[in-house]
Amino acid sequence: MRSEAWIFGGNAVFFLVVAPTYWLLSQDPTGTAALVMAFGLTALVTFYLGFHANKMDPRPEDRQEAEVVDGAGELGFFPPYSWWPLWCAASLGVCVLGVVFGWWLFIIGVGVGSITLVGWVFEFYRGEHAH
């Protein structure tokens, strides 16, 4: 995580330099506030990654003497295909349209969205890809 901390640290320094420069050249409070908040967020991520990089063993990406084979192995579980995200997105679209056209449509979208969200969360507990 040390390399990621350096990347975010570089971004934080960039935003720290650009924010006052932007304020001096444009006098725009909105853009300056956005740049200051971007600095704060990148500094927060830098601190988090740097703090945890010191507490854990270095990964192969963080060691200079690491070989390619050191990073071999299982990287995680990646689900195959799934139709549930499509239906979750469709129900969210119905909820958004419900805010525009009527609360009755929003309530229908929340009901269908609850069913699709439960289906998406529990899709690997039954069927072909059950654990």
* pLDDT (tens digit per residue) in 64-114: 888 888 878 887 777 778 899 999 999 999 999 999 999 999 999 999 999
Amino acid (1-letter code) at residue 23: W
Tokens of 89: 């997105």
pLDDT over 70 (residue 41): yes
The C-alpha atoms of residue 38 and residue 110 are separated, in whole angstroms, by 33
Supply the pLDDT for residue 67.
85
d(C-alpha 85, C-alpha 43), whole Å:
33
pTM summary value:
0.54
| pLDDT surpassing 90 at residue 18 | yes
The residue among 65 and 16 whose pLDDT is bigger is 16
CA distance 49 to 1: 6
Going by C-alpha positions, the residue among 78, 87, 94 that lies closest to residue 116 is 87
pLDDT, tens only, 43-59: 999 999 989 877 887 77
Any idea where the domains of the chain sit in the sequence? Answer: 2-71, 84-123
Give the whole-angstrom CA distance, residue 92 versus residue 103.
14
Mean pLDDT value across residues 13-17: 97
- Residue whose C-alpha is closest to residue 83's, from 116, 126, 109, 112: 116
Between CA 109 and CA 95 the distance in angstroms is 5
**pLDDT attached to residue 131:** 62
When comparing pLDDT for 105 and 3, which is higher? 105
Instruction: Please calculate the CA angle 100-104-105 and round it to the nearest 5 degrees.
Output: 55
DSSP state of 57: P
